[in-house]
């Protein structure tokens, strides 16, 4: 057990995961995609699909609406959000939680000079679960440590931590892949291309970690030179024996891909040079590229999109980004049910 | 069936209404007041009054609170709102829906460069019903088309479309008139004055369309020259045989009116000349004008108000604008129950 | 009964409290801490502790979640807030109310030129209870008068009225003191130090009024010369026979105190001179002062804090400010249950 935040910080995400878990082995704080194992991932995906296919006004949804009655969730989003914010809020309410939110910290007590940590500790005292998005990954790590160190029972979920991770977005992306492919197949192995600003796309990082739970999946990182995937992740994947290809040439590999995960340029995390901007057109799914894509391929994008995925392709049945959005509410329900020990309850 | 958005746009609101309806004939997207017929209008008004008169803590409200459990509503308000926003949100929750909202699109994913359409499609994927206010009437029409064309089951409600329509505000205004008068009477016919900035008051336009369901009602449009009611609406009413009077002289007709519907100057939709500004004082219900108003008359105003309806008149029993506000929550409950096929369920 | 707002204003808070009460003697509008008597205070504290210690997923919380089903609460916060806002919203939802909020009045209908009073009257028509924070104490008093004068059934709760009062914050502070001490003890009497910007700290004013319900409690007001407690409150306490000490020397009295209530500088209510700013360091609980504090002492702070209460002291078991925050949700549930006559219902 680390004795201080500094010691906690010196540990790797994998080492940290022990104290992010409750005595029952369940996730208490979800910070990193590396905290999932395959069993938990597949269990959440299955539960989410069961909720998704249930009649909106049927008995199962009614049981769900009582599952966490008496519990409260607080959402703190220091960065803008539509999909993650709305789906988390609706998910929490849909399983019976009451919710409240801070979406513009500048209008909260902060203007009276409160620190972010004090605001977060307030939410930890007032609710049973804090769902947090912040542009600084350390903000969530520090908060996770304080919850642990103060012995608070509050759960914590990372809803986007700067350019680092976005584990729940990765959940709904991999769930969409699982619904289309056998990720364990070996002959041939599934090939997933992850395309764009990999250096700064937290969704891509988290998805890559989840895909690594299926070591047979061939991951192809496709990015302009300055936006290549972080070496920390590449090293971690190599240590796990994942087959990894890195390239700057989308056009050279597009016909190999069973799935394509597109990302936008993440300008909010620093300047992007004019050279890279000019190059980024090579990482769009133009209609010419779409024509070369395999007929059974699956196209995903975490959204919001710019030119990477033209709206005209929404009608191409290979694109599944809206289907992934639809899964968001249900996977977040499944995750919260798990964290509060209600995923195995008889919900029917 | 139109094949494209352009073709859909070339149709009249009445022609469009077919594809805004579900296979069961119920409203799936409510965009225009013209989509109501008298039977549906009166059914919603009756249900709303039943909810309104129910004991807040009684069995009927408890049954209502479970009616749409499992369903989610998303509110997207690109323009400011108090009454419509709060009443829709409380209405949806009051019939068991979970809700989330985007009230300041500039703080949502938009800042990452997302189009309004992508944000709306996200809400359509995450919820069962989108309640939308936008300063551009085309935004809601385009979204309605996309929902239809993509085969999404999401319902859509217009909560104010620019200077064009505000059908649910009209519902609560006409409900207040129905509670006071027999709109079908002929001897003498009911005379309703609609006063102020008729060119740009969406609430006046929607109310006029609803009143046209009672062709015996005499509608008197009272507006300064530059702010007269749009010719499209005048033509539509004439085609339906509505008795219509247009005048610029409030004082000349005030004693004929059974009901007065006041509106403010809608400056947000373009400049208003100094001349018109100066004239607008003639369209206020000053205490002198109030003294000339019939003893049984009914005064309404969609609010917010400026000088048209001085606060001192709130104590005049002929003013019913606050009573109309009170109806807002219950009529919106009735509408949502209808759209989801729960208005005929045994709710007791 | 006053005949006009002006007459109502000329009455003292104690005189006003008659018309802030319903025919059943319950609070209908809570504006001032002086509206509590000791019986009601202790009843609310006991109910809140019962809710606080209940199993989150147990039967009592489930019964609570149905207690005010069918009722709606509207929150209008014209000043920033985290703690009060989030806890009121979660409290109202936790007892079954549906809720909606206006947190940035400038984005609501105000921008169309609506007065604050019209916005508040709208909330009064749309909901059963308005929870209001405003920087002008008269805004809430005027609104309370209008609710009374118009005969509206809507309840009203003061969630912070400028530099005047914050009665629900005081509830959770005194509840924390009650959990630690016998406030009625006489030998020796309990000594509570209230420290800082007493002139402008509404939380300190409300707490002092609540402590006055226990006339044996010795209140020690510790403030820099320019920030001394208002004479109105001092006079009111003296009239009730409260033992009161006023000093500018925190260090001179620190060892006498059983409890210390710290406050920050309330700069939002006017300029603070450089001299006073420089002096304010004498009203912090530095670690040197903490070392001199009695071993059994209890330290509170309404938060947000600046330097008055260093975060390092959070681990000192004498500080109870986070415990007080935790009580906020439950005391606000108890208060709302009382106001709607549901505190004596069988909730088990």
User: C210-231: per-residue pLDDT in tens?
Assistant: 999 999 999 999 999 999 999 9
Mean pLDDT of C319-324: 98
- A145 with A172: CB under 8 angstroms? no
pLDDT score recorded for residue A106: 61
| Block residue for tokens 């073709």 | B7
pLDDT score recorded for residue C106: 61
Give the H/E segment covering residue B178: helix B167-180
**Residue C104 clears pLDDT 80, i.e. is over it:** no
Of A90, A264, A304, the CB nearest to B72: A90
In what side-by-side order are the strands of the sheet with B129-134?
B29-30, B155-161, B129-134, B72-77, B98-102
Q: What percentage of residues in chain A have a pLDDT greater than 70?
A: 97
Of C109, C122, C128, the CB nearest to B80: C109
Q: Tell me the pLDDT band of C57, cut-offs 50, 70 and 90.
A: confident
Q: Is B81 on the interface with C (CB under 8 A)?
A: yes
Closest Cα of chain C to A247: distance in Å?
Answer: 47
Asked if the domains at A5-165+327-339 and A167-325 fall in one CATH topology, the answer is yes
DSSP A296: T
Mean pLDDT of A302-322: 97
Report the C-alpha dihedral over residues C95, A76, A51, B91, rounded to 10 degrees: 50
Closest Cα of chain B to A31: distance in Å?
Answer: 22
Specify the CATH number for A5-165+327-339; select among 3.40.50.1370, 3.40.50.300, 3.30.70.330, 3.40.920.10: 3.40.50.1370
Please list, in sequence order, all residues whose beta carbon lies within 8 angstroms of the beta carbon of residue B32, skipping any fewer than 6 positions away. B13, B16, B17, B158, B165, B167, B206, B209
Q: Is A63 on the interface with C (CB under 8 A)?
A: no
**Residue A107 clears pLDDT 80, i.e. is over it:** no
Of B98, B100, B118, the CB nearest to A303: B118
**Residue C348 clears pLDDT 70, i.e. is over it:** no
User: B314-338: per-residue pLDDT in tens?
Assistant: 999 999 999 999 999 999 999 999 9
What CA–CA distance (Å, rounded) separates C287 from B45? 66
Mean pLDDT of C45-71: 94
User: C2-45: per-residue pLDDT in tens?
Assistant: 899 999 999 998 889 988 999 999 999 999 999 999 999 999 99
Q: Is B69 on the interface with A (CB under 8 A)?
A: yes
Please list, in sequence order, all residues whose beta carbon lies within 8 angstroms of the beta carbon of residue A313, skipping any fewer than 6 positions away. A285, A287, A290, A299, A319
User: B99-119: per-residue pLDDT in tens?
Assistant: 999 987 765 544 567 999 999
pLDDT score recorded for residue C227: 96
Contact criterion met (CB < 8 Å) for A125 and C305: no
User: B24-48: per-residue pLDDT in tens?
Assistant: 999 999 999 999 999 999 999 999 9
Q: Can you give the residue ranges of every domain in chain A? A: 5-165+327-339, 167-325
Mean confidence (pLDDT) of chain A: 95
Pairing of strands A29-30, A191-195: unpaired
> In chain B, which residue's Cα lies nearest the Cα of C340?
B57
Mean pLDDT of A118-122: 97
User: C105-153: per-residue pLDDT in tens?
Assistant: 765 554 567 999 999 999 999 999 999 999 999 999 999 999 999 999 9
**Residue A111 clears pLDDT 80, i.e. is over it:** no
Residues paired with residue A299 on neighbouring β-strands, in sequence order = A260, A319
What CA–CA distance (Å, rounded) separates A52 from C229? 59
Give the global pTM: 0.97
Specify the CATH number for C5-30+68-162; select among 1.25.40.80, 3.20.20.70, 3.30.70.270, 3.40.50.1370: 3.40.50.1370
Contact criterion met (CB < 8 Å) for C90 and A71: no
Q: What percentage of residues in chain B have a pLDDT greater than 70?
A: 97
**Residue A176 clears pLDDT 70, i.e. is over it:** yes
What CA–CA distance (Å, rounded) separates B89 from B100? 8
Q: Is A81 on the interface with B (CB under 8 A)?
A: yes
User: B246-297: per-residue pLDDT in tens?
Assistant: 999 999 999 999 999 999 999 889 888 999 999 999 999 999 999 999 999 9
Specify the CATH number for B5-165+328-339; select among 3.40.950.10, 3.40.30.10, 3.30.70.2190, 3.40.50.1370: 3.40.50.1370
pLDDT score recorded for residue A348: 52
**What's phi and psi for A240, nearest 5 deg?**
-90, 5
In what side-by-side order are the strands of the sheet with C218-222?
C244-247, C218-222, C191-195, C259-262, C298-300
User: C296-308: per-residue pLDDT in tens?
Assistant: 999 999 999 999 9
Q: Find chain C residues with C-beta within 8 A of B55's C-beta.
A: 70
User: Closest by alpha carbon to B124, among C69, A301, A322?
Assistant: A322
pLDDT score recorded for residue A22: 93
User: B67-96: per-residue pLDDT in tens?
Assistant: 999 999 999 999 999 999 999 999 999 999
Q: Find chain A residues with C-beta within 8 A of B66's C-beta.
A: 62
Q: Find chain B residues with C-beta within 8 A of A55's C-beta.
A: 70
Of B69, B126, B128, the CB nearest to A65: B69
Q: Find chain B residues with C-beta within 8 A of C128's C-beta.
A: 56
Q: Find chain A residues with C-beta within 8 A of C303's C-beta.
A: 109, 114, 118, 122
CB atoms within 10 A of CB B345: 12
Please list, in sequence order, all residues whose beta carbon lies within 8 angstroms of the beta carbon of residue B219, skipping any fewer than 6 positions away. B192, B194, B208, B211, B212, B237, B242, B243, B244, B245
pLDDT score recorded for residue C111: 56
Q: Find chain C residues with C-beta within 8 A of A127's C-beta.
A: 86, 90
- A339 with A155: CB under 8 angstroms? yes
What CA–CA distance (Å, rounded) separates B94 from C99? 9
In 3-state terms, what secondary structure has residue C132?
A: strand
Q: Is A11 on the interface with B (CB under 8 A)?
A: no
User: A253-283: per-residue pLDDT in tens?
Assistant: 999 999 999 999 998 898 889 999 999 999 9
User: A127-141: per-residue pLDDT in tens?
Assistant: 999 999 999 999 999
Mean confidence (pLDDT) of chain C: 95
Closest Cα of chain C to A69: distance in Å?
Answer: 6
| Block residue for tokens 């759209």 | B339
C167-325 fold? Rossmann fold (3.40.50)
**Residue B347 clears pLDDT 90, i.e. is over it:** no
Mean pLDDT of B135-152: 97
Closest Cα of chain B to C111: distance in Å?
Answer: 7
Q: Find chain B residues with C-beta within 8 A of A62's C-beta.
A: 66, 69-70
């Amino acid at each position: 057990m680390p004795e201080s935040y500094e010691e906690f910080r010196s540990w790797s995400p994998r080492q940290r995961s022990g104290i992010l878990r409750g005595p029952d082995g369940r996730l208490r704080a979800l910070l990193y995609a590396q905290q999932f194992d395959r069993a938990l991932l597949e269990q959440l995906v299955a539960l989410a699909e069961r909720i998704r296919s249930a009649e909106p006004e049927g008995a199962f949804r009614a049981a769900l609406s009582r599952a966490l009655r008496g519990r409260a969730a607080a959402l703190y989003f220091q960065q803008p959000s539509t999909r993650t914010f709305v789906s988390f809020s609706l998910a929490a309410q849909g399983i019976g939680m009451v919710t409240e939110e801070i979406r513009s910290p500048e209008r909260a007590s902060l203007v009276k000079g409160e620190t972010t940590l004090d605001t977060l500790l307030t939410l930890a005292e007032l609710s049973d679960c804090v769902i947090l998005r912040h542009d600084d990954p350390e903000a969530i790590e520090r908060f996770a440590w304080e919850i642990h160190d103060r012995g608070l029972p509050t759960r914590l979920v990372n809803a986007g931590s700067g350019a680092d991770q976005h584990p729940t977005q990765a959940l709904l992306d991999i769930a969409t892949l699982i619904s289309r492919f056998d990720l364990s197949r070996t002959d041939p192995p599934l090939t997933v291309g992850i395309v764009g600003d990999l250096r700064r796309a937290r969704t891509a990082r988290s998805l890559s970690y989840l895909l690594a739970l299926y070591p047979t999946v061939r991951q192809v990182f496709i990015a302009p030179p300055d936006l290549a995937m972080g070496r920390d992740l590449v090293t971690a994947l190599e240590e796990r024996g994942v087959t990894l290809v890195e390239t700057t040439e989308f056009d050279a590999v597009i016909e190999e891909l069973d799935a394509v995960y597109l990302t936008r340029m993440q300008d909010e995390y620093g300047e992007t040079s004019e050279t890279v901007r000019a190059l980024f057109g090579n990482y769009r799914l133009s209609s010419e590229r779409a024509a070369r894509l395999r007929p059974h391929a699956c196209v995903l994008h975490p959204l919001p999109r710019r030119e990477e995925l033209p709206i005209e392709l929404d009608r191409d049945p290979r694109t599944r980004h809206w289907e992934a959005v639809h899964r968001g509410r249900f996977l977040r329900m499944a995750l919260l049910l798990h964290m509060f020990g209600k995923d195995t309850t008889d919900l029917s």
